[in-house]
Amino acid sequence: MRIHDIHQRLADLGAKPLHSRRIVRAWLHGQPLDSGTRHQPSESFLPLAVREALPALGEELDGLARLRSEHPGSDGSARLLVELADKQMVESVLLPRDGLCVSTQVGCAVGCVFCMTGKSGLLRQVGSAEIVAQVALARRFRAVKKVVFMGMGEPAHNLDNVLEAIDLLGSEGNIGHKNLVFSTVGDLRVFERLPQQRVKPALALSLHTSRADLRAELLPKAPRIAPDELVELGEAYARTVGYPIQYQWTLLKGINDSREEMDGILRLLKGKYAVMNLIPYNSLEVDDYQRPDGERIVEMVRYLHSRGVLTKVRNSAGQDVEGGCGQLRARAVDVVNT
């Protein structure tokens, strides 16, 4: 379901756009859909047909994203396994400091070799209302003041739905535009469409290597945009919106943690309006990849920092770890199937 469909349905029942927006806003903030004000009760402005339809609509919206299970992490984050209306499963993650990571697709077609979600391929798109429903669901647990689109899926492959959700969250959801973070492997459509939006989100670009050939191996179905070009496109967007690009680099031992790669990062990002997020790979027991040793990671951060690239290690159990996305769902599906 799309946000647009909700408005259309309410309009068909006779709701004015202003009132339709009020109903959607109430849903997003966890209030009763028919909430008016003391001076203006809903009976005074909503047609009877709309009021009569609201209880069923409320149930339907609640059913867009239901909590299946919760898995608290040690860092204040919590992974939420979320069931959609057709029983497909995605995950959202409550992040420290009122953040929330949401999923934009069931599965993903990019096929990053280190990602569990990529292994299942794309199962279906997540509608804009289902994306927003993840926020409404999370708000039952706590405040949400930042939303990162880094869960399951590649937002660029579901662009219309993601942009519709971003527009609603940034206009009616009390979330600052730079606190909406669109995360992508890089796609030309993103660089065309984002600058045209009323709500312009921050951008996180998954780089993972400075070498075009290695990137094609690690992200086999990502658009073939060379790292240099990706950074140029990112830089133009950062200067347009006035907040830096967050580059994502899943650290894989022996693959992209060499001195050559660190020098590659310097070549690409020195002087750029950028933050480099190094994300040590979240190793599973049976895995082809490993994270580098702690000492090596510290060394890399010092090396980049001292040469002028703002670098952070994202070592959390939360879903800002892209290398871990989909792992929870894969385990849950195992449980369901056995």
Q: Which residues bind ligand SF4 (CB under 6 A)?
A: 108, 110-112, 115, 117-118, 152-154, 185, 322, 325
> Catalytic residue at 285?
no
Instruction: Give the nearest distance from C-beta 6 to ligand SF4 in angstroms.
Output: 27
Among residues 110 and 180, whose Cβ is nearest to ligand SF4? 110
| Dist CA 106 CA 149 (whole Å) | 13
| Dist CA 31 CA 18 (whole Å) | 17
Percentages of the chain per state (helix, strand, coil), in multiples of 5: 45, 20, 40
Instruction: Give the nearest distance from C-beta 151 to ligand SF4 in angstroms.
Output: 8
> Catalytic residue at 217?
no
Instruction: Give the nearest distance from C-beta 116 to ligand SF4 in angstroms.
Output: 7
End-to-end CA distance of the chain: 31
| Upper half-sphere CA count for residue 319 (Cβ side, 13 Å) | 32
Identify the active-site residue in 43, 91, 112, 154. Answer: 91
Among residues 6 and 245, whose Cβ is nearest to ligand SF4? 245
Give the residue among 255, 287, 7 at the shortest CA–CA distance from 119.
Answer: 287
CB 325 within 8 A of CB 151: yes
Q: Among all residues, whose Cβ is closest to ligand SF4?
A: 118
Instruction: Give the nearest distance from C-beta 119 to ligand SF4 in angstroms.
Output: 8
Among residues 107 and 173, whose Cβ is nearest to ligand SF4? 107
Among residues 10 and 101, whose Cβ is nearest to ligand SF4? 101
Q: Which residue has the tokens 């992200």?
A: 219
Give the dihedral sign, CA 217/219/220/224: negative
> Which residues are annotated as catalytic?
91, 325
